[in-house]
Structure 1
Amino acid sequence: MDSVVKIEQLNSIQEHIDELSELLIQVVEDGASIGFLPPLNFSETIRYWENVINPEVILFVAKINNQIVGSVQLHLCTKENGGHRAEIAKLMTHPNYRRNGIGRSLMQKAEERAKQEGRSLLVLDTREGDPSNFLYTSIGFIEAGRIPNYAKSASGELHATIYYYKYNI
């Protein structure tokens, strides 16, 4: 990659909402299974991003030349019996920037922050067969199990999801 990737936490999305919305549209159009189906309209993405950041959700973005090219969320469990765990959610890399270590860098940052927050267990899920499965296992996540017919694709086909965990100690 020619340019340096900078990972930063966003505490407000207002000045970045258009870029974040475009990122979400691009990854969904490219087939990512992150809860949305194409075609995704801009107003829907705006509504989504406006509700992401709260005290339990930490949002990291990856930037190249000050442009957002990826993001990931760390959801801190607030249940009384879950203060030791967090969930990784919505890891996204813009299709034009994939296979350059951006997802790995975002995951590293999320794991570091989870440690700072005292979270010793991380969990996540992803569609079976997606490239992200390789990333997660390559950074130490362990498959916990799968649920068949969990997520629908744009074609209407049902896909399994795989749950992963990692001890973050």
Structure 2
Amino acid sequence: MGSTKEPDFIISSITDASAVEKHLPSLRVLLQHCVNDEPEISSIGFLAPLTDHAATSYWLDLLSSSVIGPGATTSLLIATAPGSDQVVATVQLARMAKETHAYKGEVRKLMVHPDYRRHGLGRRMMDEVERVAREQFGLEMLVLDTSKETPARWFYLRTGWNEWGICPDYAKSSSGVKHDCSFFCKSLV
């Protein structure tokens, strides 16, 4: 039985305005797929249908306010498709501003384009965000939350995250229905 080679995705950080310009169209499309395709299981902060304008505005606001520049508090990692500039996955790492919380970060909005799921890309993105948190920022702990009713919960459980609590009716899916939310943490030391 032959083995199938997984696609060779390129994972990098968005660090300057030219990268934003280059990747903005595929960032918009990725966000729209993750919100609009399955709104009953999507829980990343937007109601469906997410318009072109709203998706583009989200990325421009995020990138200009917290990702690029000397005061950047969020790292945006992207994965591009083999031989392409198309963004097929993203994940964000937000660092905490308070001195007493500076040892930890929050993982936000892991998104994988539907056409590229089931290739290990989500796991690779999480491995990379953990590496960046530990090696570039010296973080000791990461936290995240996700709707209890989504496949994401099972993904985090399988990838070594510790579920420490569930809050009833904390999250809304993109369809507008309230769901319980699972809270996770992971030690990096």
TM-score by length of 2: 0.85
Aligned pairs for 1:100-115 (under 5 A) are 100-115=119-134
Structure with more of its chain in strand, by fraction: 1
- Take 1:49 and 1:154, find their aligned partners in 2: how far apart are those partners? 18
Partner of 1:46: 56
Report the RMSD for the aligned CA atoms in angstroms.
Answer: 1.3
Aligned residues of 2:81 and 2:87 also touching (Cα < 8 A): yes
Partner of 2:114: 95
Q: Residue 46 of structure 1: CA displacement? A: 1.2
Partner of 2:151: 131
Bigger Rg, structure 1 or 2: 2
Paired residue secondary structure (2:62): coil
Partner of 2:32: 25
Aligned residues of 2:76 and 2:92 also touching (Cα < 8 A): yes
> Stretches of 4+ moved more than 3 A in 1?
none
- Take 1:16 and 1:90, find their aligned partners in 2: how far apart are those partners? 17
- Take 1:92 and 1:134, find their aligned partners in 2: how far apart are those partners? 15
The one-character-per-residue Cα deviations of 1:30-83 (angstroms, maximum 9, x if unpaired) are: 232100011001111111101223211000011112221110000011111111
- Take 2:141 and 2:98, find their aligned partners in 1: how far apart are those partners? 14
Q: Does 1:159 align with 2:179?
A: yes
Partner of 1:34: 44
Paired residue secondary structure (2:46): coil
Partner of 2:69: none
What is the count of residue pairs matched by the alignment? 169
- AA at the equivalent of 1:76: R
Paired residue secondary structure (1:129): coil
